[in-house]
């Protein structure tokens, strides 16, 4: 080993140790590793930050923004609305959720797909009175599997595709991953549906299954051409129950009608009095085609997405002792008071005429800028982490069409994937499907910094001959094996690393090793790159290898050792299915 190789392997061992330890943020660990590598003279200072301009970094950032745009438009929600029913068996429920999760993960980022479906799965568990631990892990694994189907489904695919561009002059295309990814996904989903969930402990949930402390009393207007027109309140109850919202009554021509108005026929311009949490109220408004006062004001805000924001009223707030009709909130600030929560109490007054008291929680809807200005003027305090994007369901088909056109431009070779996704983001900004805030808030900056810092480090590993040395070691230890056996060993090593390291870091380190192994045995690099892509994505043994597994750990009340119970067999199954598929589709 040369001095440079000894230094670099020492840095990498320290890097891996810190990442596995997990006490320091992985982006900071990667940045320190980059700086140390530069100081050691292994990377030229002028090349230290080239990773921040790498196409893989840009694509991952844009995929996250586009994913949010598809969710904001209601396109993803429309699909997800049909996936849960209380009368399904547990295996059927798990199978449907996993299939939908995999399908969504193929077209949007798999973390975003899990974030959307997880709330539906938890709601279904609450209604069925079963432990959510039985279904959350299969859902997480399903979204991870589905991400392998397309280029944009998971970051390792993007990393591997761009690495192929650097080495061979052309990247993997959008659907090059599909044959192997679909086969692995089908086998994996069948396993988690019929066997995997039986290996998970049915542990008590950390989520509360009861309690009305966070419920709001809200009003929603019956808009023109709403499907609710002509129905009675009682006929609308099944849809309300499906969304965990209670219909308390009806307001017409400025007055609240007596009782619960069960037999009253709903007319255009009526207001439904609703009780529920903000997310469920917003979902029911979409399903029943309802809107809010001031809709015209909101729709005229081009380029601004709308949000539901919860805010608490302090004792000295300007709004205390007043009502929002008198304050003319819509006219002055373009913000609507959708609902009020007062310690779970119900009230007969219309929301707009309710005298606000200190301690009330207000549910405000409007653009981020307008809600912030209105909150300052009212003297209320928006609650951290209690902001909800409002679905713009009328733009769902338009959002899907724009996304499909962007993918088409890339697949046909008219422009690069990064430019195509960038154009999609510009269109979403212009239509108000996403706002300026989303452009920065939705990017997972820790992953971006990790990737940008490790790209030069991985390059140094290749330039110093470190990748070739590791490849020679693998080839030497597998000299009696056929090419597919060498590929299997490489995938097992990569998969093991991915269980303990970030999957992006694993892909960056393993990709040059895979190419070096291929060159050493005189084989095509493509099957080895594809094997690294699959193996780097399949982190099923621990909660730290993939962000989806980390996300479900708290809500599912999982322990560190729960993951290998279902994940070990799944990883073996992935290898068993992926290797022959890779050899068939990408011959040596």
How high is the mean pLDDT of the chain? 85
Q: What is the pTM of this model?
A: 0.74
Nearest to 109 by CA among 65, 43, 168, 45: 65
Which tens digits make up the pLDDT trace of 273-306? Answer: 999 888 888 888 888 888 876 655 555 444 456 7
* Percent of the chain predicted with pLDDT > 70: 93
Query: Are the CB atoms for 379 and 395 separated by under 8 Å?
Result: no
Contacts of 79 (CB under 8 A, 6+ apart): 100, 103, 104
Q: How far apart are CA 494 and CA 486, in angstroms?
A: 12
Strand partners, 387: 309
pLDDT in tens, 241-265: 877 889 988 988 888 888 788 888 9
Name the one residue in this structure whose structure tokens are 């990247």. 171
CA distance 267 to 522: 74
Per-residue pLDDT for 212 more than 70?
A: no
For residues 313, 315, 317, 320, the Cα torsion angle rounded to the nearest 10 degrees is 80
What are the strands, taking DSSP E only, across 368-483?
381-389
| Cβ(15)–Cβ(433) below 8 Å | no
Is the CA virtual torsion 129, 130, 131, 135 positive or negative?
negative
User: What pairs with residue 309 in β-bridges?
Assistant: 364, 387
Secondary structure (3-state) at 176 = coil
- The 8-class DSSP code of residue 83 comes to S
Model confidence band, residue 239 (pLDDT cutoffs 50, 70, 90): confident
Helix (H) or strand (E) holding 79: helix 75-80
Residue 458 pLDDT exceeds 50: yes
d(CA 70, CA 64): 10
Domains of the chain: 3-204+444-585 (no CATH), 307-389 (3.30.70.1450)
Residue 514: predicted pLDDT:
92
What average pLDDT does range 175-190 have in this prediction? 95
pLDDT digits (tens, 9 = 90+) for 520-530: 999 999 999 99
- pLDDT tops 60 at residue 209: no
Least-confidence region, from 116-120, 204-208, 235-239: 204-208
Q: Minimal CA–CA distance to 203: which of 558, 548, 551? A: 558
| 77-91, 320-334, 335-349: the lowest-pLDDT one | 77-91
pLDDT of 300: 44
Q: What pLDDT does 124 receive?
A: 80
Greater model confidence, 486 or 80? 486
Q: Do residues 453 and 37 touch, judged by C-beta distance below 8 A?
A: no
pLDDT value for 298:
53
Three-state secondary structure readout of 195-263: CHHHHCCCCCCCCCCCCCCCCEEEEEEECCCCCCCCCEHHHHHHHHHHCCCEEEEEEECCEECCCCCCC
| Cα angle, residue 61 at apex, residues 58 and 63 outer, rounded to 5° | 105
Looking at residue 122, its pLDDT comes to: 82
| Integer Cα distance of 442 and 449 in angstroms | 14
CB 549 within 8 A of CB 159: no
Which residues are bridge partners to 154 per DSSP?
none
Q: Is the pLDDT of residue 442 over 80?
A: no
User: Are the beta carbons of 356 and 326 closer than 8 angstroms?
Assistant: no
- The answer, yes or no, to whether residue 39 has pLDDT greater than 90, is yes
Q: How confident is residue 208, by pLDDT bands cut at 50, 70 and 90?
A: very low
Instruction: With beta carbons less than 8 A apart as the criterion, state whether 235 and 263 touch.
Output: no
What would the pLDDT profile of 306-339 be if each residue is shown by its tens digit? 778 888 899 888 888 888 778 888 888 888 888 8
Please give the pLDDT value at position 411.
82
**What is the arithmetic mean of pLDDT over 469-492?**
88
- 255-256 and 246-252 strand pairing: antiparallel
Arithmetic mean of pLDDT, 426-437:
82
What burial letters (b/e) apply to 22-55, b meaning 16+ CB within 10 Å?
eeeebbebbbbbbebbbeeebbeeeebeebeebb
The answer to whether 172 touches 125, Cβ cutoff 8 Å, is no
pLDDT recorded at residue 494: 92
Has residue 214 got a pLDDT over 70?
Answer: no
pLDDT interval class at 486 (50, 70, 90):
very high
Distances (CA, A) of 459 to 44, 505, 506, 510: 11, 13, 14, 12
Q: What is the pLDDT of residue 509?
A: 86
pLDDT, tens only, 351-405: 888 889 888 899 998 877 888 888 889 898 888 667 777 777 778 888 889 988 9
What's the residue count for the chain? 588
- Which long-range contacts does 90-96 make (Cβ < 8 Å, 24+ apart)? 90/130, 90/134, 90/135, 90/197, 91/193, 91/194, 91/197, 93/124, 93/135, 94/134, 94/135, 94/138, 94/139, 94/192, 94/193, 94/197, 95/189, 95/193
């Amino acid at each position: 080993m040369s001095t440079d190789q000894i230094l670099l392997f020492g840095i990498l061992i320290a890097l891996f140790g810190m990442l596995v330890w997990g006490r320091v943020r992985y982006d900071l660990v990667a940045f320190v590793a980059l700086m140390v590598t530069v100081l050691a003279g292994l990377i030229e200072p002028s090349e230290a930050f080239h990773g921040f301009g790498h196409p893989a970094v840009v694509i991952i950032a844009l995929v996250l923004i586009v994913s949010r745009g598809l969710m904001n438009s209601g396109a993803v929600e429309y699909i997800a609305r049909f996936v849960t029913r209380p009368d399904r068996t547990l295996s059927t429920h798990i199978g449907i959720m996993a299939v939908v999760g995999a399908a969504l993960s193929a077209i949007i980022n798999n973390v975003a797909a899990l974030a959307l479906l997880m709330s539906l799965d938890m709601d279904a568990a609450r209604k069925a009175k079963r432990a959510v631990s039985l279904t959350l892990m299969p859902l997480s694994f399903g979204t991870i599997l589905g991400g392998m189907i397309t280029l944009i489904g998971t970051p390792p695919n993007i990393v591997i595709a761009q690495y192929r561009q650097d080495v061979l002059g052309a990247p993997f295309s959008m659907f090059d991953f599909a044959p192997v990814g679909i086969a692995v996904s089908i086998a994996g989903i069948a396993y988690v549906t019929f066997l995997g969930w039986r290996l998970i402990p049915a542990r008590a949930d950390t989520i509360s299954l009861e309690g009305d402390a966070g419920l709001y009393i809200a009003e929603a207007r019956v808009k023109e051409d709403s499907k609710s027109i002509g129905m009675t309140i009682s006929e609308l109850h099944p849809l309300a129950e499906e969304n965990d919202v209670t219909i308390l009554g009806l307001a017409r021509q400025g007055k609240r009608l007596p009782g619960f108005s069960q037999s009253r026929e709903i007319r255009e311009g009526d207001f439904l009095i609703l009780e529920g949490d903000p997310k469920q109220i917003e979902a029911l408004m979409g399903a029943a085609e309802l809107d809010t006062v001031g809709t015209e004001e909101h729709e005229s805000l081009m380029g601004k997405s709308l949000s539901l924001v919860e805010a608490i009223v302090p004792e000295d707030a300007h709004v205390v002792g007043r009502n929002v009709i008198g304050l003319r909130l819509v006219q002055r600030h373009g913000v609507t008071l959708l609902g009020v929560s007062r310690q779970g109490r119900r009230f007969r007054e219309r929301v707009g005429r309710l005298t606000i008291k200190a301690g009330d929680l207000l549910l405000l809807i409007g653009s981020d800028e307008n809600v912030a200005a209105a909150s300052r003027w009212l003297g209320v305090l928006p609650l951290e982490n209690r902001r909800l994007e409002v679905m713009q369901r009328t733009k769902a088909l338009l959002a899907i069409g724009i996304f499909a056109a962007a993918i088409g431009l890339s697949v046909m070779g008219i422009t690069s994937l990064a430019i195509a996704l960038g154009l999609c983001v510009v269109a979403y900004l212009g239509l108000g499907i996403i706002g300026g805030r989303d452009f920065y808030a939705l990017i997972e900056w820790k992953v971006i910094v990790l990737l940008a810092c490790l790209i030069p480090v991985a390059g140094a590993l290749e330039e110093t001959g470190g990748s070739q040395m590791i490849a020679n070691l693998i080839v030497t230890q597998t000299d009696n094996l056929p090419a597919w056996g060498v590929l299997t060993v490489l995938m097992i090593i990569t998969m093991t690393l991915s269980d303990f390291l970030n999957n992006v870091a694993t892909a960056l380190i393993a990709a040059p090793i895979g190419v070096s192994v291929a060159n050493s045995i005189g084989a095509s690099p493509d099957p080895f790159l594809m094997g690294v892509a699959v193996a780097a994505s399949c982190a099923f043994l621990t909660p730290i290898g993939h962000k989806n597994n980390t996300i479900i750990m708290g809500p599912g009340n999982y322990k560190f050792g729960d993951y290998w119970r279902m994940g070990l067999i799944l990883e073996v199954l992935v290898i068993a299915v992926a290797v022959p598929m890779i050899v068939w589709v990408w011959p040596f």
